[in-house]
Amino acid sequence: MPEMTRETMMTAPAVIHHLQFANLPNGTRLHYGSAGEPGKPLILFVHGFPEFWYAWERQLAEFGQTHFAVAPDLRGFNLSSKPAEPEAYRPKLLVEDLVQLIRVLGYETCVIVAHDWGGAVCWNLAAQFPELVERLVIINSPHPYLFARALSADPAQQQASAYMNWLRKPGSEQALAANEFALLEKMLTGDAGALPAWFAGDTRVRYHGAWSEPGDNGSHPLTGGVNYYRATPMHPPAKGETSPDISRLDPAMFVVRVPTLVIWGENDRALPRSLVDGLEDFVPDLRLERIPEGTHWIIHEQPERINLLIRGALP
C-alpha cells in the first residue's frame, strides 16, 4: 500500500474524462469514464443497477492521482451497447466484456472495485481469470454461491429478493420509467422517502439522462439493465415455483484466489449482512469491512471512507 501522507490526501482531484469508447473483439462497444494517465497501474470500477459509470465519480477523482482509473458503462447501460435480447446478458458474456476491456486498454492485470451487479460479474471474473486480478474489492454484492444457496433455502432472503421476479416480467422497464422514473428513484431512497442528498441537483439530471439513452434497434432505454435480472439463473422462486436446485453447482468453481476486500453496508434492505456468513470458505485471502449504518448505496453516502478502504487494499 502506498504511504498516505497529509500531502497525498490534499492533492487536487484528478480530472475526469468521459465520452471514451472501447470497441471489443466480441462486437460490444463500451463507453467509459477515466481519470489519470494510461500507463499507470489500471484500477477498474464496475457499477451496478440502475447506475452507470458516473456512480464512481468520487473514486475516479481520487484514484486518478495514482492510477489509470477507468469506470465503464456495462453493456445495457447508458452509452454502451444495449442489445434488447435477454440472452445477450448471460453471465459468461458480461465477464467476457470486462476481460476484453482490460486487454483493449493495454493491460494484463488490474485492480477491480465493483458494486451490486458489477460485483456479481467480477466475482465470476476473479474466480475464472485470477491471473488478471491483482486485488478485488467488492461492495454490497453477494458471492454467487452463497447467494444461490440463500435464494434456494432462506425464506428471509427469498422475500428480500422478491423484487427480482417483478423486474423479470415483461413491461417492468416501462413501469420503472413512468412518472419521471419515480420507481427507479424510489430504489435509491430506501425508507427515507425523500431523495438522498447525494442524488440531488446535477447528479439527478445525469442519472435521468443515462436512463433515457435509447437501446439498440429502438429498444426501450431500460431494457438492457432489466435484462440482467431476466438472464440470471439466480432469482427467488416465483409463486407456484419450487426453490432453485443448487445441487449441481460445484462449490470449488466459485473459490476466488486473489486478495479480496469486501465492504458491506449492513443496512441493505435487499442484501442482508447474513450473506457474508461463510465467505471465508470461498475467499482464502479475505478482509471483511462491515459498516453497520451503511445502506446499499454506501459508496455515495461515505465516499471518503470508501476511498480510504480501497486505498488500503491496493498492492
User: In a structure prediction context, what are the per-residue pLDDT tens digits for the chain, which is 315 residues long?
Assistant: 444 443 444 578 999 999 999 999 999 999 999 999 999 999 999 999 999 999 999 999 999 999 999 999 999 999 999 999 999 999 999 999 999 999 999 999 999 999 999 999 999 999 999 999 999 999 999 999 999 999 999 999 999 999 999 999 999 999 999 999 999 999 887 666 678 899 989 999 999 999 999 999 999 999 999 999 999 988 998 887 887 788 889 999 999 999 999 999 999 999 999 999 999 999 999 999 999 999 999 999 999 999 999 999 999
- Burial of 286 (C-beta count, 10 Å sphere; 0-12/13-18/19+): middle
Contact between 119 and 228 under an 8 Å Cβ cutoff? The reply is no
296 flagged as catalytic: yes
229 flagged as catalytic: yes
**Of the residues 116, 143, 207, 228, which is catalytic?**
116
**Of the residues 32, 89, 228, 229, which is catalytic?**
229
Q: Where are the beta strands (DSSP E) in 24-86?
A: 29-35, 42-46, 68-72
Q: Which domains does the chain have, with CATH numbers?
A: 6-313 (3.40.50.1820)
Q: What number of residues does the chain have?
A: 315
